[in-house]
Amino acid sequence: MPGLRTVFSTRAALQHLAPRADLLIGTVLLPGAQTPKLVTREMVASMKQGAVIVDISADQGGCCETTRPTSHSDPTYVVEGVTHYCVTNMPGAVPRTSTFALNNATLPLVLALAGKGWRKAMQDDPHLRAGLNVLEGKIICEAVAQAQGVEAGVVEGL
């Protein structure tokens, strides 16, 4: 019976399911780091002719070896008979809606920073603190530091 099936993104699962997939949507994100290539060219070649890959992680390099960034004006290309949609900044297709969504998600954080000051807001909110990448001239986010080939700094009191 046809239907939607979601799976945990392991190489083994992708290798097993790729030949049967009509649509593969890649949504891998490692904040501050390049996306790992979970879908190999061989997996893409094993897919059905006319299948589609939507690589939402194209902004960070994409999770498919065959991903290359595209734009809203020229969004698709074909590799190994598989259509790829790898538009960077996908929310740009719906700017008004995405602006409202971004505002709704970030306004509470901005209000906390403005009301408490940055240090107290970071101490009170582990999610806000997890978004801190650079402080006092030091890269403190491990993934960003690694991508830049430097050692991550340590910040006391956060």
Average pLDDT, 10 consecutive residues per value, the chain (158 residues)? 76 93 91 88 97 95 96 96 96 93 94 95 92 89 86 81
Asked whether the whole model's pTM tops 0.85, one would answer no
Amino acid identity, residue 71? S
User: Do 53 and 78 belong together in one domain?
Assistant: yes
Residue that terminates a domain, selected from 90, 111, 135? 90
Provide the token pair at 93. Answer: 């297709």
Task: Look up the domain containing 118 and give its range.
Answer: 94-148
84, two tokens: 């790829």
Is the same domain home to 86 and 119? no
Q: What is the pLDDT of residue 142?
A: 86
Question: Is 68 among the domain residues?
Answer: yes
pLDDT score, position 104: 96
Residues 6+ apart with CB under 8 A from 21: 47, 48, 51
Claim to verify: residue 41 and residue 84 sit in the same structural domain: yes
Report the number of distinct structural domains present in the chain: 2
CATH at residue 81:
3.40.50.720
* The last residue of a domain, from among 90, 107, 137: 90
Give the integer Cα–Cα distance in Å for 19 and 72.
28
* Residue 50 shares a structural domain with residue 114: no
Instruction: State whether 22 and 79 are in the same domain.
Output: yes
Residue owning tokens 């992680």: 57
Task: State residue 143's pLDDT score.
Answer: 83
> What is the model's pLDDT at position 34?
84
Same domain? For 123 and 142 the reply is yes
Residue 16 domain flag: yes
Number of C-beta neighbours around residue 87 at 10 A = 22
Instruction: Tell me how many degrees the CA angle 9-142-12 measures, rounded to the nearest 5.
Output: 15
**Phi, psi at residue 30, to the nearest 5°?**
-120, 100
Contact 22, 48 (CB under 8 A): yes
Question: 152: exposed, middle or buried (C-beta count within 10 Å: 0-12, 13-18, 19+)?
Answer: middle
